Structures are given as C-alpha cells and as structure tokens.
Amino acid sequence: MGEKICINCGETVNDNANFCPNCKSTSFRHKAEVTANSKPSIIHSLFYWEVDGKYILAKSKLAALFTFAVMILSTFVSPVVPGMIILTAIFTLLVFLIGYLGHYFKFKPSKAKLDNNDLGFITDLKHLLFYWQSKKTGEYVLSKTKVFSILIFIIFSLIAVVSNSPALVVYVVIGLIFAIPASIIGFVIHKITYEDDTNAKRVSYTETQKMEPPKKTVETAPQVSVHEFDEYEKQLDDLKNEYYKKDSRARELIEKKFEPPQMTYTKFISVVDSSTKLFNQEADNISNIIRLASEDSPRIESEIKSKFNTLNSISDKLDGLIDELVLSLDPAGNDDVEGLLGDMENLIDSIKNYD
C-alpha cells in the first residue's frame, strides 16, 4: 500500500486516507518508495553516521577529510614546512572532534531525513553540496546559495593551481572566507523564506525517480467530511449534558416519592442506574469511532447515526420516567403506583435491548 505526506504537518498516512488524523488537513503530496542501503559497508564507516539503524552523511567526517587533503596537497606544492604532517594531523583531528561533539550532543535528524538519505554516496554528497532538505518531509530543493558558494571556492582554488603559487593553503583559506559567509546568509534567507520548510511545488529526488502517474479515482458514494465529525463531537457533548441533567432530576424525584430504603425506591434507582450505564457505553463507542477512524466512509457515518438514535431513545425513556414521577407526586395519583411499576418494567426491558 502506498503512502502520502500531509503538506500541513508532514505526517505520513496511507494513500486511501482522505484527511490527516493529526491535523485534519486534506492536502497531501505523493510519497514515493525510498530505496536505501540496508547493510553497512566500508563507505558507511568512513563517511556516514549511524542513527537508529539508518545512515546519514557525516559532515564532520567529510570536513576532516577535506582539511587533511588540502593540507597534505600543500606540502607537495609549497616548500616543505617542518612538522607539516604533524600539523595536518592536529588540524584534521580538531575539525573532526568539533563536528563529532555537535553530532553527539545536538545532532538528531528527523525520521523524514533518515528515510531520504543513504541513497548512494555520490547521490548523498550531491544532495549535501547543492540542495536543502526539508526536516518534515525529507524532500530536496536546489540551493542557489550552495552552488554560488562552491563556485567561489573553486575559482580561488583554480587560481592557486594555475598560477602554481606556493601559497596554495592561503588561496584555499581566502576562498573559504568568501564562500562560508555567503552560504550562511543563504541558509538564513532559506529559513526565513520557507519557514515551514515545505513547498508544494518542490519535488523530492526520489519522487522524480520513482513517482508513478496518479491514479484516477471515482467517487461512488458521498463521503463524510472532517467538519461533520466535528459536528458529531459537539452534538455528543450537548446530548450528554442534557442527559445528565435528566438523570439528576429523576433521582431527585424518586427520592421524594419513595424514601429509601423502600423496595420501590431501590427498584426505580436501579432502572436509572441501568439507563445511565447504557447511555455512557454508547457515548463512549461514538467517541472511539470519531477518535480512531483514519478515513471517512458511509459505513462509519451510518454506525455513528445508529448509535445517536440509541442515545436519543434512552434519553426519551428517561423523560417518560420523569413525567410519570412528576404526575405521581400528587397524592391522588398514589393508586397509579402499581401501573407505574409496570411501565418501569417495560422501560427496563426496552433499555436492555440497547446493550
């Protein structure tokens, strides 16, 4: 079964769901299946972090390897500096440790990011260098800032190589001085412009590879909208408040008519207890259906309406009991107590039918 992603909150739901169970939104985008490496390799050990059984490219490892490569290369281009190899090792270790500490204390990628990584080292490296990735959906969008920053760095590096300058490291550092601020500014602009990190017009890398043409669906029956569920919740709350007022009134009248511990008092109170118990059971059933239903359907609508009919019937029976009690409070109506008891027996049988 396929999956799709809620544009509003990023929740992943089944393709057949018509609304998001988390935020009730009805706006989705298609989610393609992600093919990721399941077994770790030497490449994973060198260039990735393992998080919850999945792998994501390690920026600190790449930065350390880049530092090592540049400084080692400078030892061949420039005059040999005493202790350059030791200095290279120290700088490389420092870069790695700084990145590792950030990973250890703060780094925790979202599930969406993990699901859309480990697609192959070249692909992951391309995404890291040239794309922004959404935390909510894992989708990628081309970053003009990253492209521009890398071009600046490449230009300064080419100048050093073409001119055969002995100060290769100096040119590389100058390139970084210009490239890093540009990248940071672009990152800030990206976050401000796309605050929710989601754009419906963007398409993830994996979707362009695996997305199938959308299937046309034909509606064969009217569907229940999310707003109708909200109305059902309000209707249920109103009905419960109304019933509990009737319950309190009925108990008050029974106590006035039959002082406890008369057998008749116990009989009437047991009827009210049974009625309230059945009412609460049916009300809980409706609440569970509304809360747990992941999709709307005519069957759910029919079941909810049926249970509302049951609640109304129980409430009407209690109304009848209250009316009889009010009328029997008149001393002239004492002769009708036996008839009232018979009516109550019928009431008990009627309520039991709803169990």
178 sits in the region (left: phi over 0; alpha: psi -120 to 50; else beta) called alpha
> Over 80: is that where the pLDDT of 245 sits?
yes
Is 306 or 4 the better-scoring residue by pLDDT?
306
Is 243 or 295 the better-scoring residue by pLDDT?
243
**Same domain, yes or no: 18 and 107:** no
**Same domain, yes or no: 156 and 283:** no
**Same domain, yes or no: 193 and 312:** no
| Domain of 80, in residue numbers | 32-210
pLDDT per residue as tens digits for the range 165-212:
555 566 666 666 666 777 777 777 766 766 544 444 444 444 444 445
Residue 289 lies in a domain: yes
Residue 218 lies in a domain: no
Q: Rounded to the nearest 10 degrees, how much is the dihedral formed by the CA atoms of 6, 11, 15, 20?
A: -70
Confidence at residue 155, expressed as pLDDT on a 0 to 100 scale: 78
Report for 88-102, 158-172, 275-289: range of highest mean pLDDT: 275-289
Mean pLDDT of 226-236: 74
**Same domain, yes or no: 19 and 42:** no
Question: What's the number of domains the chain is made of?
Answer: 3
pLDDT per residue as tens digits for the range 108-146:
676 767 677 777 778 877 777 788 777 666 677 777 777
Residue 12 φ/ψ, nearest 5 degrees: -90, 125
Residue 216 lies in a domain: no
Residue 220 lies in a domain: no
**Same domain, yes or no: 79 and 172:** yes
Q: Which of 159, 175, 210 is the last residue of a domain?
A: 210
**Same domain, yes or no: 77 and 151:** yes
Residue 65 lies in a domain: yes
Confidence at residue 31, expressed as pLDDT on a 0 to 100 scale: 55
Mean pLDDT of 5-18: 75
Is 350 or 281 the better-scoring residue by pLDDT?
281
**Same domain, yes or no: 49 and 24:** no
> Over 70: is that where the pLDDT of 354 sits?
no
349 confidence band (pLDDT: 50, 70, 90): low
Confidence at residue 180, expressed as pLDDT on a 0 to 100 scale: 72
Residue 165 lies in a domain: yes
Residue 288 lies in a domain: yes
pLDDT per residue as tens digits for the range 27-58:
777 654 444 444 567 777 777 777 766 777 77
**Same domain, yes or no: 239 and 307:** yes
Is 243 or 70 the better-scoring residue by pLDDT?
243
**194-204 burial, b for 16+ CB within 10 Å, e for fewer?**
eeebbeeebbb
Q: What does the alpha-carbon distance between residue 193 and residue 204 come to, in Å, rounded to a whole number? A: 19
Mean pLDDT (the chain) is 71
**Same domain, yes or no: 95 and 176:** yes
